[in-house]
């Protein structure tokens, strides 16, 4: 049974001619963690606000926990939706202590026990009497999450919750927040423009561009089997080579040679498609493989981002980006040899979006 069901949702703001969210449909299961991922202005915050009830769609419906929250004729206001919010800046009350912040607006009889319970859950016992300015960014975030969870919401919505944290803390908080949400079996919808957040925290990712869903899948599916150039470029980096599906509809002709398409692929004969190769899927050796010259490289600590000019089997030269092991010794101008593993190649539809990016 789906816990959240969004059907054909469309929202156009007054005074604009293009919908911010257009014909969006998806389902979320109970306890699932979903990230709405996309670039600035793609409509992800609007979608979150529609689910919360801060905006009303002109078309489509929203069901949460079997209850119809919004459609063409009905609209349940935010405070009656059973939705908890965690805002980007945490929105804690500066003049209230941790315990007062977490208990704010909670009117049930078990208030004291429930507040203590969620403080345990987010590991903030001992901090009850502190004010927000006496807490670190990560601790403030945990207070905001505790406040959202205190009322046992049907779903918790989190708007870019990691964007104010520095890189180290961000890594740690992704794990912590995911664990806390999973431990409570709460359904959660994150909004993020950061692919690393989305890959680390989500059970499934919904990639959005220009108000429309591009792909829905697990982090692994989104990264390894992107369905179009927008997804493959937005989630990680990729080398994109043009290809043409052969008339047998089983292989694609590319500058690397003929590559077999997977069974059940969605392409038609003679279609122009994209062949995407991830930077970490290209192996480098001193001999054997496609010759290439190192043009530049940047040491990243855990990898070396390297740009090479490769002499492709079809005779042309193509710039490729590789991600190499940090122990690899490289010099600009050095001759290397490349091997691309067929299993790491993905095939993409060339839509209008692809051609623009």
Q: Any idea which residue has 């010794």 for tokens?
A: 329
CA torsion through residues 315, 318, 322, 324, sign: positive
Of 194 and 305, the one with the shorter C-beta distance to ligand ATP is 194
Of 44 and 204, the one with the shorter C-beta distance to ligand ATP is 44
The nearest distance, CB 120 to ligand ATP, in angstroms, is: 33
Which residues, listed in sequence order, are joined to residue 306 by a DSSP beta bridge? 297, 322
DSSP assignment letter at 280: G
The nearest distance, CB 42 to ligand ATP, in angstroms, is: 4
The nearest distance, CB 16 to ligand ATP, in angstroms, is: 5
Of 43 and 132, the one with the shorter C-beta distance to ligand ATP is 43
Furthest-apart CA atoms within the chain: distance in Å: 76
Of 207 and 345, the one with the shorter C-beta distance to ligand ATP is 207
Structure-token pair, residue 81: 């939706």
Q: By Cβ distance, which residue is nearest to ligand ATP?
A: 45
The nearest distance, CB 109 to ligand ATP, in angstroms, is: 39
Of 20 and 157, the one with the shorter C-beta distance to ligand ATP is 20
Residue 285 three-state SS? strand
Residue 53 φ then ψ, to 5°: 95, 10
Taken as a whole, the chain contains a residue count of 357
CB contact at 8 A, 48 and 191? yes
Q: How many CB atoms lie within 10 A of CB 318?
A: 16
CB contact at 8 A, 111 and 147? no
Of 16 and 247, the one with the shorter C-beta distance to ligand ATP is 16
The C-alpha atoms of residue 69 and residue 76 are separated, in whole angstroms, by 5
* Binding region for ligand ATP (CB under 6 A): 13, 16, 20, 38, 40-46, 193
CB contact at 8 A, 98 and 92? no
DSSP assignment letter at 262: P
The nearest distance, CB 250 to ligand ATP, in angstroms, is: 39
The nearest distance, CB 52 to ligand ATP, in angstroms, is: 12
Which residues, listed in sequence order, are joined to residue 10 by a DSSP beta bridge? 59
How do strand 239-245 and strand 251-254 relate by DSSP bridges? antiparallel
The nearest distance, CB 57 to ligand ATP, in angstroms, is: 13
The nearest distance, CB 161 to ligand ATP, in angstroms, is: 13
Of 19 and 236, the one with the shorter C-beta distance to ligand ATP is 19
CB contact at 8 A, 241 and 317? no
Of 142 and 193, the one with the shorter C-beta distance to ligand ATP is 193
Which residues, listed in sequence order, are joined to residue 70 by a DSSP beta bridge? 62, 75
């Amino acid at each position: 049974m789906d816990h959240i069901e969004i059907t054909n949702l469309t929202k156009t703001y007054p005074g604009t001619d293009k919908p911010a969210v257009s014909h969006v449909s998806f389902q979320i299961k109970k306890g699932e963690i979903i990230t709405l991922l996309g670039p600035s202005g793609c409509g992800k915050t609007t979608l979150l606000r529609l689910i919360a009830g801060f905006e009303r769609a002109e078309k489509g419906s929203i069901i949460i926990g079997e209850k119809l929250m919004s459609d063409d004729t009905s609209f349940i206001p935010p405070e009656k939706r059973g939705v908890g919010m965690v805002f980007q800046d945490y929105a804690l009350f500066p003049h209230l202590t941790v315990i007062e912040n977490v208990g704010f607006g909670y009117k049930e009889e078990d208030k004291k026990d429930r507040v203590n319970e969620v403080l345990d859950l987010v590991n903030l016992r001992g901090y009850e009497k502190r004010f927000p300015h006496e807490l670190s960014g990560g601790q403030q975030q945990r207070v905001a999450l505790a406040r959202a969870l205190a009322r046992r919401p049907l779903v918790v919505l989190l708007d870019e919750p990691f964007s104010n944290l520095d890189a180290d803390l961000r890594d740690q908080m992704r794990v912590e927040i995911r664990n806390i949400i999973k431990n409570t079996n709460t359904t959660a919808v994150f909004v993020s423009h950061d692919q690393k957040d989305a890959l680390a925290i989500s059970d499934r990712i919904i990639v959005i561009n220009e108000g429309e869903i591009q792909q829905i899948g697990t982090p692994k599916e989104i990264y390894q089997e992107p369905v179009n150039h927008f997804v493959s470029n937005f989630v990680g980096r990729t080398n994109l080579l043009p290809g043409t599906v052969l008339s047998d509809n089983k292989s694609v002709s590319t500058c690397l040679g003929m590559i077999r398409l997977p069974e059940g692929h969605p392409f038609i004969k003679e279609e122009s498609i994209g062949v995407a190769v991830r930077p970490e899927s290209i192996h480098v050796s001193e001999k054997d493989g496609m010759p290439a010259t190192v043009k530049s490289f940047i040491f990243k600590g855990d990898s070396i981002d390297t740009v090479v000019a490769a002499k492709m089997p079809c005779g042309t030269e193509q710039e490729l980006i590789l991600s190499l092991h940090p122990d690899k010794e490289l010099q600009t101008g050095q001759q290397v040899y490349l091997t691309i593993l067929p299993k790491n190649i993905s095939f993409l539809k060339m839509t209008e979006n692809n051609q623009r990016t």
